[in-house]
Amino acid sequence: KQEVTQIPAALSVPEGENLVLNCSFTDSAIYNLQWFRQDPGKGLTSLLLIQSSQREQTSGRLNASLDKSSGRSTLYIAASQPGDSATYLCAVRSHGQNFVFGPGTRLSVLP
Amino acid sequence: DAGVIQSPRHEVTEMGQEVTLRCKPISGHDYLFWYRQTMMRGLELLIYFNNNVPIDDSGMPEDRFSAKMPNASFSTLKIQPSEPRDSAVYFCASSVGTEAFFGQGTRLTVV
């Protein structure tokens, strides 16, 4: 059974810092990994999708990497801004086609 | 496309009442997922459909929960009878290919 963990559980940084969020999964036989953002009381917004054959994906100040063999992914946020404050979730899609989510990292970027 | 549409956004009901949550997936998507989110357990998959057929309902907590997808543009999640421990945010998501898109969720409170 696929299990997904995320470290740290919470993170508070001053504006302008670069930061890394970590996601680990136990079964490396995945189709893809997706990073989401969730604002309080809101739904999930897709940030980046990495296919199992890819090593990384970039969108603006966000960069996500995938090391399938070691069961890890990182989300790198450059030059963080207060508007980046949210909970970040990673989800792994396996052969059963369903998505398994990590518990999330709650990020606060202080002005 | 308006994205995944869920209704209602908020539902408050008394214990023992029947509750029906609704979801309209993105047109053309062939997978539909129902998730439940709580502080204690995070995002949990309840059931998912492929081409309107239920594929995995192992996450449905008990017989009080049922889900249907009568056509490609509509799905329901029903709880009968509802209990206070069912209070959570229920998300619907759809996908075609590999990327998942989530609705805004229904916040259910059972008193």
| Cβ neighbours of A40 (radius 10 Å) | 8
B57-75 mean pLDDT: 93
CB A12 within 8 A of CB A6: no
Rounded Cα–Cα distance for residues B17 and B12 (Å): 10
Residue A95 pLDDT more than 80?
A: no
The pLDDT, as a whole number, for residue A96 is 64
Could you tell me where the DSSP H helices lie in chain B? none
Contact A44 B102 (CB under 8 A): yes
Nearest to B45 among A31, A36, A98 (CB): A98
B33-58 mean pLDDT: 93
Rounded Cα–Cα distance for residues B40 and A30 (Å): 26
In this prediction, residue B52 has a pLDDT band, given cuts at 50, 70 and 90, of very high
Give ∠ CA B88-B54-B3 in degrees, rounded to 5.
60
The pLDDT, as a whole number, for residue A97 is 72
CB A93 within 8 A of CB B28: no
Rounded Cα–Cα distance for residues A63 and A40 (Å): 23
Pairing of strands A10-14, A105-110: parallel
Find chain B residues with C-beta within 8 A of A34's C-beta.
99-100
Where do we find the tokens 């890394």? A20
Percent over 90 (pLDDT), chain B: 85
The pLDDT, as a whole number, for residue B107 is 97
B79-83 mean pLDDT: 96
Residue B97 pLDDT more than 80?
A: no
In A, what residues contact B, Cβ < 8 A?
Answer: 31-32, 34, 36, 41-46, 49, 51, 89, 91, 93, 96-104
- Per residue in A12-68, pLDDT (tens digit) is 999 999 999 999 999 998 989 999 999 998 899 999 999 999 999 999 999 999 999
Helix (H) or strand (E) holding A84: none
The pLDDT, as a whole number, for residue B1 is 65
The pLDDT, as a whole number, for residue B73 is 95
CB B102 within 8 A of CB B92: yes
- For B89, residues 6+ apart whose C-beta sits below 8 A from its C-beta are B36, B37, B38, B105, B106, B107, B108
Dihedral of alpha carbons A78, A84, A88, A92, sign: negative
The pLDDT, as a whole number, for residue A86 is 97
DSSP structure class, residue A29? -
| Cβ neighbours of A25 (radius 10 Å) | 24
